Amino acid sequence: QQLHGFCDAGCGGVGGDASSRILVKGGTVVNAYHKEIADVYVEDGIIVDVRPNIMVDDEVTVIDATGKYVMPGGIDPHTHLAMDFMGTQTIDNFFSGQAAALAGGTTMHIDFVIPVNGNVSAGYELYTKKAEKSVMDYGFHMAITKWDEQVSEDMEVMVKEKGINSFKFFLAYKGSLMVSDESLIYGMEKCKSLGALTMVHAENGDAVAEGQKRMIDLGITGPEGHALSRPPVLEGEATARAIRLANFVNTPLYVVHVMSIDAMHEIAKAKESGQRVIGEPVISGLSLDDSWLWESDFITAAKYVMSPPIRASGHDKVLQNALSSGILQLVGTDHCTFNSTQKAFGINDFRKIPNGVNGIEERMHVVWNVMVESGQISVTDYVRVTSTECARVFNIYPQKGAIQPGSDADIIVLNPNASFEINASTHHSRSDTNVYEGRKGKGKVEVTISRGRIVWKNGKLNVEAGSGRYIPMRPFGYLFDGIEKKDAEYLSSLRAPVQRFKASA
């Protein structure tokens, strides 16, 4: 079924191209550290062979990829589908958001489960239901929004029984999702003991609340007040704090949506000192600036409201440099879409504009355009930052993130000579706006294969509700290798306790 524009959760229902055997012929096969001209043969959803000149019978569906790149499908590490947030729910659910992803060359995403009133298990159950109409593979991170014994026990269940290996702590959104430093420290300790990755949304929520009050007192109630109330210094502070606490606990840290030079510098400093910190830029931060927030039309401005805010011009270029030099490691989207009606909740008060922008369909094209077309990263690095590194960090490599025998057949064919253009009228998200409206560029995903099914070809989507699988992710990924040695070194450095003899009276 072809999907365009406002795609309802009920649409779809027809399968991807039914052939279980596919040959992608004659393209340049690109992995994170190697590329070669070769054929890729797929059977029953799995890559079986990768080499030049594979011969097949007539029953096999052949895709000619001559002159094109054949790459692992994108993996988006940061999405919010069907998320209840700021008094409403994101307009993209697991069906429409994933359909959009596939049309843009992303074949897996990791979504954030939000606990129900702090209850982690209830959150997991709820998201399992939300994801029933999935059309592609997905995994879950879990947010931790309060701390108590039950949460601690549930985290253990999530890791040992439910395939979750990462927990996110919001240092912003005071009064709703935000946790205290005390909870963050307990959470980090628990994560470390379980081999799960600590993730943070790094903004100082107390200071943001104060900044918001300052703007309202100044009479600044429009979308520009959003950026003005939460400047880069508050992102830098929270990033530095989370990094130092992760160092104190000696556990790896993943900083989501790094939006500012300030936050990036903190990550660079930590890496320089040997700390294991992963920085995730998102495409909005890499490719947009905050000038839109000063637009006189409210809806145009409000569609750019997300947190941390899209920053002033200049931050985008520095974040690009950090991505190409490896300070930042993988690109997400934070896809969290609200339509114009929802954004208008904040017409009189920027604090009520639901925070979030689109990106799940645009990420692969925008990263190609901004980073590869401009010569800032190689084609192999493109695969690394859009797919392989995510699979490695979340411990699902090489099932995902690789074109090699045994890997899932999540494959895209990208034509470097074809052009893309982004418009809300033709995108597959249910939103009526797009923050990349009118963007054009070279490098187009012409084919998407999702676990061996051709789901995007000739500009047509062919997806099946319920065909997406939940991908469990194992704990103790590569970031945990050897951290116990640093613990041992720390313990032996204490020179304590000192044996003291009681002085006689």
Ligand X SMILES: NC(=O)NCCC(=O)O
Which of ligand X, Zn ion, none does residue 166 bind (CB under 5 to 8 Å by kind)?
none
Residue 408 contact, options Zn ion, ligand X, none, Cβ 5-8 Å cut-off depending on partner type: none
- What is the phi/psi pair of residue 417, to 5°? -100, -5
Q: What backbone torsions phi and psi does residue 455 show, to the nearest 5 degrees? A: -105, -15
3-state helix, strand, coil in the chain (%, to 5): 35, 25, 40
Tell me: does residue 311 bind ligand X (CB under 6 A): no
Does 80 contact ligand X by CB under 6 A? yes
- Segment interacting with Zn ion, rule: CB under 5 A, options 28-36, 198-206, 429-437, 495-503: 198-206
Question: Looking up tokens 């797919």, which residue turns up?
Answer: 387
Toward ligand X, which CB reaches closer, 82 or 403? 82
Q: Does 201 bind Zn ion (CB under 5 A)?
A: yes
**Pick from Zn ion, ligand X, none: which does 80 bind, CB < 5 to 8 A by kind?**
ligand X
- With tokens 């989370």, the residue in question is 242
Site string for ligand X, 173-202 (x = CB under 6 A): ----------------------------x-
Could you tell me the sign of the dihedral formed by the alpha carbons of 190, 196, 201, 204, in that order? positive
Q: Which residue has the tokens 């994560």?
A: 191
* Minimum distance, C-beta of residue 257 to Zn ion, in the bound complex (Å): 6
- The option from ligand X, Zn ion, none interacting with 226 (CB < 5 to 8 A, set by class) reads none
Residues binding ligand X: number (CB under 6 A): 8
Choose between 72 and 231: whose C-beta lies nearer to ligand X. Answer: 231
The span from the CA of 489 to the CA of 179, in Å, is 31
* Site of tokens 């689109």: 358
The residues, ordered by sequence, that sit 6+ positions from 269 with a Cβ below 8 Å of its Cβ are none
Among ligand X, Zn ion, none, what binds residue 109 when CB lies within 5 to 8 Å by partner kind?
none
Nearer to ligand X, 192 or 230 (CB): 230
Which lies closer to ligand X via its Cβ, residue 31 or residue 358?
A: 358
| Shortest-Cβ-distance residue relative to ligand X | 355
Cβ-count burial 128-148 (b if 16+ within 10 Å, e if not): eebbebbbbbbbbbbbbbbbe
Task: Look at residues 28, 49, 109 and name the one whose alpha carbon lies nearest to residue 361.
Answer: 109
Among 459, 443, 313, CA closest to 382: 443
> Does 430 sit near Zn ion (CB under 5 A)?
no
Asked if 306 touches ligand X (CB under 6 A), the answer is yes
Relative to beta strand 46-51, strand 34-43 is: antiparallel
Which stretches of the chain bind Zn ion, using CB under 5 A? 201
Interface residues toward ligand X, by CB under 6 A: 80, 201, 306-307, 334, 336, 355-356
